[in-house]
Structure 1
Amino acid sequence: MKRLLILTAAVIMATGLLGGCSSKGESKEGTKTQTVTILYPGDESDRMSEFMSNEFAEKMKEDLGIKVEMVYTPWDQYWEQKDIMLAAQEPIDLYWDGLPDLATIVNKKQAAVLNDLIDKYGQNLLKVLPEEQLKGATINGEVYGIPSAYAPSSGMFQMVCVRQDILEACGMTEIKTTEDLKLFAEKAKKLYPEMKGPADPIFKPLTRYFADEQLTWCANEDAVVYGDTTNKVYDYYETDAFKKVAQYNRQMYNEGLYSDDLTTKYNERDSRMQTGLYLWVEGSLGKENEVISSVKANAPDARLKSYILKPEEPRYIIATGGEVLCIPQTAPNPEGAMKFIDWL
């Protein structure tokens, strides 16, 4: 959750901000303060709760005259709970999801058309979010979501977030190559037999590492990629990069460094990492800040650090999707939600 809110804590922007419940209450001045309820995956730390209740609350009251409430759901339950809550028309004004899932979200009638709201309350948004980025959340000319980040290059899906404390205990200082990762897993298995190995096969960071050209995921979940050098569209599973990723992961599995859960329960990778019993998980910029509280709850001495493999190479943009903020059709306070997004 902290991805929107990391951007919130610095200028009060947010990389993982979202929260709330929609109700109305009386302010000290006697005017009504509207509540914006935001649904977001993850757990809230004590410091984040304090920040939301004090500095952030004052800023929202001063700038927008609203109260923001966050509703958190554990990562491994988020999408199921989101569907249940929206189907039950619970008072959710804003929620986070994956941009590649937007068509499914619209088909489920979980997102309102935002064109009019953007015209009325999103003028600051339009100043900083390029039109082509906004088109990524447009279906048949209607905008159904707001991409939560824009940048010419980012660490999305390209990094690996590791247990830095264990890495250093194994006599290593950093991760730059796939050989480094394998060596880390081998050493940790010997020194920390209670650990369960990696939490994630990190196929996208590995794809970037093994690819001969910049690859951009462009359609049909993760099946289609565009090659920046060849200017061709490929079936990802026919690329040399995928073959090398598969060979590497098969070697890791055959040597007992990967567990069955990595593939049979792939979507639980973040939950695994948060148990404090795993060595690494796929990361993006700020990933370590996002999950460290949960990891420390189970491993108090844990430290996390994110690395990009083969750092000397350009940081390829390998995902056109990313994340999206949606306002449900049943949102009690869609105007407040859009004002909040515009403020961000």
Structure 2
Amino acid sequence: MLKGTLRVFALLVLVGVLTSACRGNEENAPSSSGNGTDKFVTLRMIMPGDESARMREFVDNELNARLRQDLNMELDLTYIPWANYQQKLELALSTGERYDLFWYGTPFVSGYMSKGYIQPLDELLAIYGSDLISNIPADNFKLDQINGKQWAIPSQAFTSAGKFTSVLVRQDLLESVGMTEIKTIADLEAFYEKMHAREPGYYGYLETDRGQDILWREISDRNYSMLDEQQLFAVDEDTGELINYVESDLYKKSVQLRESWVAKGIIDMDLVGNPAAKIDQENAGKLLFRVGAVSRAMENLQTAQKADPNARLREYYLSPDKPKYIIAPSNEAYMIPASAENPERAMKFMNWILKSKENYMFIIYGVEGKDYELDDGKIRLLTNDQLMYEWMWRNKNYFTAPTIVDDKVVDDMLNNDDNAKISKLFGFHFNEEPVKNELAKVLTVYKEKFEPINFGLVGYDEGYADAIQALKKAGFDKVFEEARSQFETFREQMNDAHE
């Protein structure tokens, strides 16, 4: 039923449109092999990650040897550490540096389009992207369509309901203190207290830059989904109404809970606002729980086991009987900058990844026999160094589970979308252009005044009145009215499409 709902929901049947265009244009397209008419190019790409020796060695040697053969190109890959990724990426985009391809989350596509950082991809996708179209559902492409144009490639095609509303825990440590699962906020608090009493070096935190959605599942009897990364607005899934989150009772309950977690030590004041330090502590195996992402128990296991070979991870939903919502089938977006020198080759490179399972396995896992081996249909990793992040390109047509991941975790992922619902936000993009000046001021105030409250560093009773006054002075009401107006228009269009 879910698949049928998605098909009905899609306004544009992208596969049919683009496949037709692809057939019509491929005859005139240059060859994608090294023996064709393409000149040799160096494709400059930006990716997040803390580069290991094997990551660099693989790109410079085995990967580039294959790319020279197949696409007459080589990859100049710049890794930016996660803690600095957004800042340095946006600096490169805003100054027009000559990069050809980069990754970021779907919520950033609309803003980067509005700022002129990226270019539309319709023609490139139609000519060079036949394998992308074949292996990524049309509904996923719809996520990155704005004003009738395609602005990014939604590279992941896997289960996605409830993404970023689950909590990821160290399952081995949970069991070591006599607990088996997490269902409530009280369970999380008990887990921390038991571990802290045994060894104070461990800490538990829920990321303060996101994760409110996890708590909403329990602290409200209603169902809400966050509009975007800015955390200003949410939708009431029961009524379809866009709500002003920062002025809601839901916001008050969320931040007061986090305030109590600071007092208990669950949120470590020394780590708040210091992403690099938090990542270092997680990499050292000292993290008890964090925001989940449907498949983060698999994605983060390799890192966790570097610090502790016995580490096991699992994701849970608070109030597990409440529904999960699909807001975006893929949160992963590959974009081509407006200033790119080699946009055609960038699209060919992305298409090459999904052209065959061989290519997919190669760029994600490396060289069989050196970086991995197959064991009864599963991947056995022979190195702890990740190459291309598997989750960025996870595809149901090619997915192979690692041997180190519990079968229960694999089942959690594969069955995650069972009985899920489509979010009222599905397919909605907030066009920031009409209020871009006000929004810039609002976000500056939000960072200064609201983030300390969100983090639990400033008490709600102490800081909220001043914060909301400053936010309104910056133009918040105008931004909210514009967002609500656009959302209401979107909902009317959706209703008309279903009649």
**Superposed pair shares fold, TM > 0.5:** yes
More moved, 162-171 vs 87-96: 87-96
Q: Could you list the per-position Cα deviations for residues 29-81 of structure 1 after superposition, in whole angstroms to 9, with x for gaps in the alignment?
A: 9x966554432212356787787789877876776565556432221011122
**Matched ranges for 1:294-333 at <5 A:** 294-299=303-308, 301-317=310-326, 322-333=331-342
The answer (yes or no) to whether the contact 1:185–1:198 under 8 Å persists in 2 is no
Change beyond 3 A, Cα 1:52–1:315: farther
Equivalent residue in structure 2 for 1:189, among 196, 200, 223: 196
Q: What are the within-5 Å matches in structure 2 for residues 225-264 of structure 1?
A: 225-261=234-270, 263-264=272-273
Cα 1:245–1:138 shift into 2, 3 Å: same
Name the stretch that deviates more: 121-130 or 190-199: 121-130
- 1:167 corresponds in structure 2 to 174
Q: Is the 8 A contact 1:273 1:281 kept in 2?
A: no
Contact 1:86 1:110 in 2 (8 A): yes
Tell me if 1:143 matches 2:111.
no
Determine the C-alpha separation between the residues in 2 that align with 1:208 and 1:49. 42
Shift of 1:296: 4.4
In structure 2, what is the equivalent of residue 77 of structure 1? 84
Aligned to 2:104, what secondary structure does the other structure show?
A: strand
When residues 213 and 125 of structure 1 are mapped into structure 2, their CA distance, relative to the original with a 3 A threshold, is farther
Over residues 266-310 of structure 1, what are the superposed CA-to-partner deviations in whole Å (9 max), with x where a residue is unaligned? 797545423432222212133234344444455555433322333
Question: What is the SS of the residue equivalent to 1:147?
Answer: coil
- Aligned 8 A contact 1:125 1:341 in 2: yes
Shift of 1:87: 5.3
Aligned positions, number: 318
More displaced stretch, 185-194 vs 102-111 = 102-111
Offset at 1:123? 3.5
| Structure 1 or 2: more helix by fraction | 2
Q: Distance in 1 between the 2:246 and 2:329 partners? A: 18
Give the whole-Å Cα distance in 1 for the aligned partners of 2:249 and 2:159.
26
Q: Structure 1 counterpart of 2:187, which letter? A: D
Cα distance between partner residues in 2 of 1:258 and 1:63: 49
Query: Aligned partners of 1:87, 1:38: CA distance in 2, in Å?
Result: 16
Q: Is contact 2:140-2:328 (8 Å) kept?
A: no
Q: Does the 8 A contact of 1:199 with 1:269 survive in 2? A: no
Q: Write the letter of the residue equivalent to 2:88.
A: Q
Give the fraction of aligned pairs with identical amino acids, expressed as a percent. 33
Which of the numbers 343, 347, 354 marks the counterpart of 1:334?
A: 343
TM-superposed deviation, 1:106:
3.0
Q: Is 1:40 matched with 2:42?
A: no
Unpaired stretches in structure 1, ≥5 consecutive residues: 1-25
Greater RCO structure (CA 8 Å; 6+ sep): 1
Structure 1 residues 39 and 336, CA gap change in structure 2 (3 angstroms): same
Instruction: Tell me which moved more, 288-297 or 321-330.
Output: 288-297
The Cα shift of 1:318 comes to 5.3
Distance in 2, matches of 1:54 and 1:247, equals 52
**What code does the residue aligned with 2:132 have?**
L
CA-to-aligned-CA distance 1:122-178 (integer Å, 9 cap, x gap): 344345555564343344443322233456743421222222332232222322221
Q: Is the 8 A contact 2:225 2:234 kept in 1?
A: yes
- Per-residue deviation, 1:327: 0.8
Name the CA shift for 1:293/1:254 in 2 (closer, same or farther; >3 Å).
same
| Bigger mean CA deviation after superposition, 282-291 or 295-304 | 295-304
Match of 2:118 in 1: 111
Secondary structure, aligned partner of 2:326: coil
Q: Give how far 1:117 is off.
A: 1.0
In the other structure, the counterpart of 2:363 is none
The runs of 5 or more residues in structure 2 that have no matched partner are: 1-32, 355-499
Q: For the structure 1 residues 80 and 232, does the alpha-carbon distance in structure 2 shift closer, same or farther, using more than 3 Å as the test? A: closer
C-alpha change, 1:312 and 1:237, in structure 2 (3 Å) is: same
In the other structure, the counterpart of 1:276 is: 285
Instruction: Report the Cα distance in structure 2 between the residues aligned to 1:268 and 1:236, rounded to whole angstroms.
Output: 29
User: What's the secondary structure of 1:193's corresponding residue?
Assistant: coil
In structure 2, distance between residues paired with 1:146 and 1:68? 19
- The residue type paired with residue 288 of structure 1 is A
Write the deviation string for residues 64-114 of structure 1: whole angstroms up to 9, x where unpaired.
Answer: 565556432221011122234445655532211122222432354431222
Could you tell me the TM-score, scaled by structure 2's length? 0.54
Partner of 2:219: 210
Q: In the alignment, is the contact (CA less than 8 A) between 1:199 and 1:273 conserved in 2?
A: no
Paired letter, 2:289? W
Kindly name which structure, 1 or 2, has the bigger radius of gyration based on alpha carbons: 2
Whole-angstrom CA distance in 1 between matches of 2:34 and 2:138: 37
Partner-residue secondary structure (3-state), 1:118: helix
